[in-house]
Amino acid sequence: MKTVKQLAIPTADKAGTLSKIVDMLSGGGVNIIALAISESLDRGIIRLVVDKPEVASKILSPEYEIREADVLQVEMPNRPGSLASVVSKLGVANINIEYIYASTGDEGNQTIVIIKVPDMKKAMEALA
């Protein structure tokens, strides 16, 4: 478990936006570790955890607004009960989860879960 930078990119909800962003990152040698997209009405928000957040921000900022946030990156086995264990510990510690998303591999391998919480230090203590 560690704290990482997440990039959030508010975008117009239109075809081709994600393709353009991932092409820009790929062209700059930036690897996407986890990704989530949500939308409301005519706007979307793309949340990314990447291997080089500073480089990604530099590549994307001329065309997109970039919002950075600290999030938890938790690695766990990809098997039933792993996520339940993590969110249960946060619940017992009375830590609210603002949002969560994951990047999974094959069953039996590691899964990366990204968690946004209001108190990173307290969450890390609860999960230690």
Are 66 and 19 members of one domain?
yes
DSSP conformational letter for 107:
T
pLDDT given for residue 105 in this prediction? 66
Sheet bearing 32-40, strands edge to edge: 32-40, 43-50, 2-12, 67-77, 110-116, 99-103
Are 52 and 85 members of one domain?
no
Burial classification of residue 80, based on how many CB atoms lie within 10 Å of its CB (0-12 exposed, 13-18 middle, 19 or more buried): exposed
Q: Dump pLDDT digits (tens) for 86-114.
A: 999 999 999 999 999 988 766 567 889 99
Q: What is the CATH number of the domain that holds 96?
A: 3.30.70.260
Looking at every residue in the chain, the average pLDDT score rounds to 92
Question: How many domains is the chain built from?
Answer: 2
Are 52 and 103 members of one domain?
no
Q: How far apart are the first and last CA of the chain?
A: 8
pLDDT given for residue 110 in this prediction? 82
pLDDT given for residue 41 in this prediction? 76
Rg (CA), the chain: 15
pLDDT given for residue 79 in this prediction? 86
Range of the domain at 86: 71-127
Under 8 Å CB-to-CB from 97, ≥6 apart: which residues?
87, 90, 115, 116, 117
Identify the helix (H) or strand (E) that includes residue 11: strand 2-12
Q: What is the mean pLDDT of each run of 10 residues along the chain (128 residues)?
A: 95 89 97 91 90 97 96 91 95 96 74 92 93
Task: Say how far apart CA 40 and CA 74 lie, in whole Å.
Answer: 27
pTM value is 0.86
